[in-house]
Amino acid sequence: MMVFRPVAQSDAQQIADLAQLTGTGLTTLPKDLDKVKEKIDLSIQSFNKSVDHPGPEYYLFVLENTETKEIMGTSGLAAAVGLEQPFYTYKVGTTVHASPKLGIHKTIPTLILGHDYTGTTEICTLFLSPKHRGGGAGKLLSKGRFLFMATHQERFAKKVIAEMRGYSNDDGVSPFWESLGRHFFDMDFDDADTISGEETNEFIAELMPKYPVYVPLLSEEAQKVIGKVHPDTEPALDLLKKEGFRYRGYVDIFDAGPTIETKPENIDTIKRSADYELSAISDIKADDLYLVANTQSTNYRCVLAKVSIKDKKIALEKTSVDALGLNLGDRVLATKLS
């Protein structure tokens, strides 16, 4: 059985091993074991913290096979980005150059550096081991955190974003970085992205151009990948679009991957969820699967389960009840898997 739960320090080595499979562009999942342990420490502190408004908390979840104890994947929530160090993005805009005398009117796309998403909640660190893709694992790994958000609304902002990994080729080369970033940072894309994600991003303000970048001055290949995701990220993008996330013209400053956004109440999994009382533990003959989560914080659990619902009461199978740590009469949040 698969269970979605908060990370524990005992997961550190498996997560570090998973990180070796991610390639470039997923800096919120460090490959270094010590940095993984730091991330886990921050997550544990965040889950244990009494919160009435979002701050610098970071919640890291894992998907575990309860029979083998294998960690299949990770996903996370950054409660409010940009509070401790700037959260940079490029806004894709336009500028108009015109010469009435020559009869020339040009609308030119531009990239403007800014921090418009400061204070928003970011969903992040989504990675599922390639050997476990399919069978509902990806949906549980992504959607499980939405039910946590629904149960603990005070911990999160009124806008939710996701930075999607931008396009790079089979050799890990980002055309956007090669055409723009390399000229200012004099380092490889992976090095700059890692420093920004794992250490500090002060160097961005120090080295990045302060004025709008005229897109036509970039290489043709770089222009084509602005707002385009890495092929491996396309399933995650499709999943989030179905949840209600939309592209609003912001891209990552390193690889030009799109940033998508929505409001928590517009997330499909949250909109369709409902609160139930666990009224029975029995065999369920239904075919449909539901996402079912308990309402706890440090002991949060979410599973895919067969259910029987009548009015505001829900019946679950014993394996699901045990995985969720429930007793009769406890409250759960559930939504039909889509």
Which residues fall within 8 angstroms of residue 47, CB to CB, at 6 or more apart?
6, 59, 297, 298, 300
Strands 160-163 and 121-128: parallel
Which residue of the set 97, 105, 183, 230 is catalytic?
230
- CA 109, chain centre distance (Å): 28
- Angle at CA of residue 245, ends 222 and 194, nearest 5°: 50
CB 229 within 8 A of CB 251: no
230 is catalytic: yes
- The rounded distance, in Å, linking the Cα atoms of 246 and 258 is 10
For residue 308, CA distances in Å to 178, 196, 283, 313, 314 come to 55, 47, 9, 8, 6
- CA 295, chain centre distance (Å): 21
How is residue 61 written in tokens?
């979840």
Q: Which amino acid is at 306?
A: K
- The rounded distance, in Å, linking the Cα atoms of 201 and 193 is 9
Active site residues per annotation: 230
